[in-house]
Structure 1
Amino acid sequence: MTFASLQLNKMMLSALPSQLTTPTDIQRLAIPAVIQGKDVLALAQTGSGKTFAFGLPMLQKIDAGKNEIQSLILVPTRELASQVTTSLQEVASKLGIKVVMLSGGVSPDTQQTELERGTHVLVATPGRLLDFINKEFVSLQLLKLLVLDEADRLLEMGFWPDVQKIISFAPAARQTLLFSATLPESLEAAAVGLMYMPERIVANSKNSVVEDIKEQLYLVNKGSKPQALIALLKQNDWQQVLVFVSEKKAADTLAKRLTKAGISVAALHGDKEQSDREQTLADFKSLNTRVLITTDLLSRGIHVDALPVVINADLPENAPVYVHRVGRTARAGQNGLAISLVCHGEAEALKSIRQLTGRSMKTVDLEGFPVTDKPAEQTTNTERKRPPRDKKANRRSQAKKSIKQFKPKRKASE
């Protein structure tokens, strides 16, 4: 199948990047539905080409002669906003369509100037967009198409109130598209409530991990994780490794450990300045930095060409996050490796991930790192037990009336 068979017009076909030759499953299924004007709820694995699945038909619907915001793409993070904007501009610029990004970390004045030059497509994070709407810098009155990318994250309570407010400023008679790799049943009602008779498209098994990803799970002591990670990095010649941790502080601490071990590394998380975040990610993509340690800031939507390895130094407590994390590798049909360092304290998190993905995910020992930690529920006879309570002593104490009664009695000879 070719893109020409998906109802894309000649202008759009001529603007396609040279690397786009054969549509992916989600592109094949979603593009015709979007062109036909249907609301779409699409579930597809990470790295499957979702951006162009909604982006190409969306751009085809834009009237470049009208200088107004006709399409809005909401995303949960600045990094994803930048990624989507860059991907779409490659096509939009050839069609005379202007794409503008609104997100935190960039001067509002700069973004306002860009808007005033003309905007057809707006890619935005909820907080900054709502701020611009409230200040009347942005109007959604003529919006024709709304996209929620990484919809499950946008439907969670952290974003949902802002998303609802934003949608209240958009016309009811709009086309709505929701795209995500995962969508818990608890959020599905909210998703469907945003649309009119949506067409549900499932390109792959729900909440699934790409088959091209090889998973390896090593059971190690919690305190051994940094050294285990260093050992893996030194034993293998991976040029690029993306490492996920659960906390910002842990990212910085682990980066220092790797630096001392002579490994080229950088840390990336939400406390970093936007310019530093952009430079750090650029250095990683250009192979100037071998290892990038990050929180879940990068678990959604960030594309790194041919990223060979993702390592979970910590398992995420939220099972869908695992799917998004490991989906940074094996993108666009390539092979990838996802390694997880698991300790006994993460048993429940691992159980949830297994249930979500339907994969066995067996743990194995890592050579040179024997496991001495015990599972939380396991006890041994050698563990110190609390001495039995002296109930009579308690009663004697309660019967005393004053502090004097607690003093020892004098002996007769004293």
Structure 2
Amino acid sequence: MNFSNLNLTTQILSQLPAKLSVATEIQKLAIPEILAGKDVLALAQTGSGKTYAFALPLLQTISNSDMSDGEIKALVIVPTRELALQIAEAIELVSATVKVTVLCGGVDRAEQVKGLGERPQLVVATPGRLLDFLRQQQLSLHGVKQLVLDEADRLMDMGFWPDLESIVEFIPAERQTLLFSATLMPALNDKVAQLLSNPIKLTAQAANSVATNINESVYLVNKGDKAKALSALLKQHQWSQVLVFINGRDDADKLAKRLVKAGIHAAALHGDKEHQQRQQTLEAFKGDELQVLVTTDLLSRGIHIDALPVVINFALPMSAPVYVHRIGRTARAGDNGRAISLVCHGELDNLKAIEKLTGRGIKLEPLDGFEVTDKPASAVSKRPPRDKKANRRSQNKRSVKDFVSKR
């Protein structure tokens, strides 16, 4: 279906890039419902076009309203600054008259105050910085008619929820609320009910599913061999771009340094980096100036990298939905992609959780040149049985002198 069949105005259609003529499944489903003013809970795989599924009807609704009052008409909340900047940029590409500004942490507040001074109609924000501005009475949301939560599961499931509850208090109850995500666990249903009013539930693909155009490989390796195995794969295949996910910020730095030492052009990106450094590193990676980017789950949500060929899980995430988001960085917008996971025996429970979430089995394969010698953890304790009587004797001692052997 073409965008021209979705009741979008000529003004909106004229701003679309030439390559955007045919709407994706989630765009076909969501745009008419949003234009009709309904609350929407939309579940769609990463890379399926969720941003324009909500952005285009937002822009049309704002354009049809009175924009001369200087009020913020729509608010988009996302979990990370990188995603906030990306979404704002995507919206500005198709916005002829609607002013957009970004409020996110790590960026100079004075610059953001200046952006608010230009009286934007649409704000894209992360929860912490937005709440900070609200508490300091530096912006008003009483004119907001549409609220969007992108990557909604993370906003509701992580530490963002208290901030989100506070933010909603500043927004009129009479509003349209849109929740978009690739995954949504049943445990979050109560929170969804607090935010939405008689929502339309839209599912472009099976919930928590992985795109069929991702070629997955899961290799069983020794825990201590993972860095060598990663280097071997990178040198063997010479992929132009590889996004490597790891669970710890310090571990990301250590792994990047190890790859550089092995002659691989790599860098680390995580939340402890300064904003400018994060932006420069991400832009270098997107611009093919950097082959390997080692990152935490900072980049697992929504970040778009054109034609990213490979994603590698150096360690499986502790949360199964995060796996779906991580490997969704490849095979976006209909492209093919590859996802590789290096798994040790200690991560097999994580793998089972991923299989349960996605509803499909994942085959464990050996990796050539890396024989597995580690053994699965045994439920039987290797420690000798405790001498309970000795423990009681120790507990009855009353001073250091009591522990001196008596002859």
TM-score by length of 2: 0.94
- SS of the equivalent of 2:157 reads coil
| Structure-2 residue corresponding to 1:375 | 376
Query: Kindly tell me: are residues 407 and 323 of structure 1, through their superposed partners in 2, closer, same or farther at Cα, counting changes over 3 Å?
Result: same
AA matched with 2:71: E
- SS of the equivalent of 1:155 reads helix
| 1:245–1:293 contact (8 Å) kept in structure 2 | yes
CA offset digits 1:139-197 (Å, max 9, x no partner): 01111100000000111240011101111111111000000000010002211221111
CA offset digits 1:360-413 (Å, max 9, x no partner): 11111101111111111266xxx966278596x8999999999699534xxxxx
Query: Kindly tell me: are residues 132 and 376 of structure 1, through their superposed partners in 2, closer, same or farther at Cα, counting changes over 3 Å?
Result: same
Q: How does 1:18-97 map to 2 (within 5 A)?
A: 18-62=18-62, 63=65, 64-92=67-95, 95-97=96-98
CA offset digits 1:305-326 (Å, max 9, x no partner): 0000000000001000000000
| Structure-1 residue corresponding to 2:328 | 327
| 1:140–1:170 contact (8 Å) kept in structure 2 | yes
Query: Kindly tell me: are residues 390 and 45 of structure 1, through their superposed partners in 2, closer, same or farther at Cα, counting changes over 3 Å?
Result: closer
Query: Kindly tell me: are residues 405 and 46 of structure 1, through their superposed partners in 2, closer, same or farther at Cα, counting changes over 3 Å?
Result: closer
Q: How does 1:10-409 map to 2 (within 5 A)?
A: 10-62=10-62, 63=65, 64-92=67-95, 95-377=96-378, 386=384, 389=387, 406-408=405-407
Q: Which 10-residue stretch deviates more, 153-162 or 178-187?
A: 153-162
CA offset digits 1:83-124 (Å, max 9, x no partner): 1001000011xx211000000111111100111012010000
AA matched with 1:386: P
Query: Kindly tell me: are residues 205 and 384 of structure 1, through their superposed partners in 2, closer, same or farther at Cα, counting changes over 3 Å?
Result: closer
- SS of the equivalent of 2:369 reads coil
CA offset digits 1:24-61 (Å, max 9, x no partner): 10000000000000000000000000000000001000
Query: Kindly tell me: are residues 132 and 404 of structure 1, through their superposed partners in 2, closer, same or farther at Cα, counting changes over 3 Å?
Result: closer
| 1:71–1:144 contact (8 Å) kept in structure 2 | yes
The percent identity for this pair of structures is: 57
Aligned equivalents of 1:112, 1:51: Cα separation in 2: 25
Query: Kindly tell me: are residues 390 and 11 of structure 1, through their superposed partners in 2, closer, same or farther at Cα, counting changes over 3 Å?
Result: closer
Q: Which 10-residue stretch deviates more, 55-64 or 158-167?
A: 55-64
Query: Kindly tell me: are residues 60 and 398 of structure 1, through their superposed partners in 2, closer, same or farther at Cα, counting changes over 3 Å?
Result: closer
Query: Kindly tell me: are residues 118 and 377 of structure 1, through their superposed partners in 2, closer, same or farther at Cα, counting changes over 3 Å?
Result: same
Size of the aligned set, in residue pairs, is 402
Whose Rg is larger? Answer: 1
- SS of the equivalent of 1:176 reads strand
- SS of the equivalent of 1:329 reads coil
- SS of the equivalent of 1:215 reads strand
Alignment root-mean-square deviation, CA: 2.2
What stretches of structure 1 move > 3 A for 4+ residues in a row? 63-66, 387-391, 393-408
AA matched with 1:51: T
Aligned equivalents of 2:188, 2:119: Cα separation in 1: 35
- Structure 2, unaligned runs of 5 or more: none
| 1:400–1:406 contact (8 Å) kept in structure 2 | no
Aligned equivalents of 2:395, 2:119: Cα separation in 1: 81
Aligned equivalents of 1:335, 1:405: Cα separation in 2: 71
Query: Kindly tell me: are residues 405 and 192 of structure 1, through their superposed partners in 2, closer, same or farther at Cα, counting changes over 3 Å?
Result: closer
